[in-house]
Amino acid sequence: MQGDEEGEVEEQQPVPLTTEVAAPGLSALRDVGNLSFNYTKLELTGKLLVDLQDLPKYPALRLLNLSDNQISDATNVNDLRDLLSANLNNNKLTSLNGLTSLMNLQLLSLKGNQITSIDTFDFPMLMYLTLDGNQLTALPPSLSSCSKLRVLEVRDNKLTSTTGIEGLNDLEEARLERNEISELCLGPLPQLKILTLANNQILSLASFSGDSATNLEQLDLSKNTLASAKELSCLQGLSRLQSLTMAESPVTGVDKYRNHVHAAVPSLGTFEGEPYSEEDREPPPEIVEEEAAEG
């Protein structure tokens, strides 16, 4: 019996996307005019698909879910001019070559692929972008063309900088945990409410100075390399902040650490889950920076 089961597993072979393979996953017929109908939804998850050869035969598709397959080339998705949502999670994409311009796309999810870089990126209606679990070292240079982007998720990559988000005036959430970010690059970001940067290499908070991201409500800087209490003063403009954490960062070892945070962001009701005590509200001690040893 066990041998038979092993044989059945071995019989599963990767397949191209043909009309026969697509048929079970098609739904939501739509009248496209001239007494013609076409499907608007295709969902084929975990089917061992290796390509999208017949995808252009369904030009009216609006919803596409091809997650958990073996697709390495998404070029044919570019033929779906009415597409609103594309889920290509957990495939074998290494780039987005050919998938460059979809005028109506609102959601693009590419988790768990092997994408190392993205050159051209032109999705003017895009609101939700997920790139978790890839190999990106930088955000797409043309990300600013996605002027309606609201949610950006690029966790578990190899980013070294946040450069690329500065001009996203509609961005509400940016989740960039578990990267290698040492350079914080922020712009006005007037709608940004949530910024998560845990498990990075951030040493300076200077980018928060001035008028950057002043409407932030949640900020996670835990497990970074931030060490100086002097940097906390850069958070003074975040008057709407409701949640802040810097757990497991060196700065938490500074004498009267909570006093420094309260002095910088007095509007914060609680800090790392605990309300400020009367002692926390006392003025912090003067910051004395240690001079680097010479010679």
How many angstroms separate the CA atoms of 99 and 73, rounded?
9
Q: What pTM was estimated for this model as a whole?
A: 0.91
Range of the domain at 38: 2-275
Residue 191 lies in a domain: yes
Q: Is residue 17 part of a domain?
A: yes
Instruction: Return the half-sphere exposure (C-beta side, CA atoms, 13 A cut-off) of residue 41.
Output: 7
Question: Does residue 281 lie within any of the structural domains?
Answer: no
CATH number, position 41:
3.80.10.10
**Gap between the Cα atoms of 277 and 229, Å rounded:** 19
Q: What is the pLDDT of residue 230?
A: 94
- So what's the pLDDT on residue 293? 37
The C-alpha atoms of residue 266 and residue 280 are separated, in whole angstroms, by 10
In a domain, 295, yes or no: no
> Across the strands, what pairs with 220?
196, 245
CA distances to 59, 67, 193, 211, 270 from 236, in Å = 51, 43, 16, 10, 16
Task: Give the pLDDT of residue 35.
Answer: 60
Q: In whole angstroms, how far apart are CA 55 and each of 20, 37, 101, 206, 251?
A: 12, 16, 16, 48, 53
Confidence of residue 286 (pLDDT cuts 50, 70, 90): confident
pLDDT in tens, 165-196: 999 999 999 999 999 999 999 999 999 999 99
pLDDT confidence tier of residue 96, bands split at 50, 70 and 90:
confident
Within a domain: 292:
no
Q: Is 213 exposed, middle or buried (0-12, 13-18, 19+ CB in 10 A)?
A: buried
Distance, in Å, from the CA atom of 261 to the CA atom of 231, rounded to the nearest integer, reads: 10
The domain tally of the chain equals 1
Do the domain assignments include residue 166? yes
Residue 286 lies in a domain: no
For residue 204, is it within any domain? Answer: yes
Q: Which of 17, 91, 24, 80 is nearest to 54 (CA)?
A: 17
With 0-12 CB in 10 A as exposed, 13-18 as middle and 19+ as buried, what is 12?
exposed
